[in-house]
Structures are given as structure tokens and as C-alpha cells.
Amino acid sequence: PGMTCAHCQHPCSQYVTRRDNPNGNAGRPYFICHNCNNSWSTWNDTRGISPSNPPCNCGVPSRQGKSGVGAAWEGYGFWVCAKGSCQY
């Protein structure tokens, strides 16, 4: 299913990460918004989503993410809107 950008309300485009992705995200589908200068929207899967996660501003369980390889905060967890619909 498609999705709409939370920032500009335009349709997002779906892509899939490369198989050699160094962050453990090989082959994961994701959405970006070309109208917002190719800004990240959300993943298009259920990884990191659990009913026990804190609710985001949409009122649904959030997605638990982890910062990527090479970042100063590498490996630290964070919560985001699982649907990419709000600014949580």
C-alpha cells in the first residue's frame, strides 16, 4: 500500500535497501517523499513494532529503531511513528 508524506501530504515512493546495507537493513522496503527533497518517511514493514511499544501521537504503537553504523550514538535505540504519519 502507498503512503502520504506527513509533512506535505504528497504521495511517497517506495524503494528497497541494497543487499549490502551495512546497518542490518538489507532488503527492507521504505518510503521517501520526492516533494520534500527526498526526505525519509518510514519503513514499510513491521520490524520494531510491538503492542508494548509506547504509543506515538497517532495513538498506535510506535516503532523501535536503532541508530546506524558510524554515528556517534551508534546502537542507541529510539522510538518513531510506525506509520510515518506524525512527528513522534
The three cell numbers locating residue 88:
513522534
pLDDT confidence of residue 88: 86
Number of other residues whose CB lies within 10 A of the CB of residue 12 = 24
Distances (CA, A) of 33 to 11, 24, 68, 74: 7, 23, 21, 25
Distance in angstroms (rounded) separating the CA atoms of residues 44 and 36: 18
**What's the pLDDT band for 47 if we cut at 50, 70, 90?**
very high
> Residue 53: is its pLDDT beyond 90?
yes
Distance in angstroms (rounded) separating the CA atoms of residues 57 and 78: 15
Same domain, 6 and 22: yes
Same domain, 72 and 32: no
Which residue bears the cell 501530504?
9
**CB-based contacts of 75, cutoff 8 Å, min separation 6:** 66, 67
pLDDT confidence of residue 6: 86
Average pLDDT of the segment spanning 39-66: 91
**What's the pLDDT band for 39 if we cut at 50, 70, 90?**
confident
Same domain, 41 and 26: yes
Same domain, 81 and 50: yes
The three cell numbers locating residue 66:
536503532
Same domain, 7 and 37: yes
Same domain, 23 and 60: no
Q: Over the stretch 1-29, which tens digit does the pLDDT of each residue have?
A: 578 888 899 999 999 999 998 878 899 99
Considering only residues 2 and 45, tell me which one the structure prediction assigns the higher pLDDT: 45
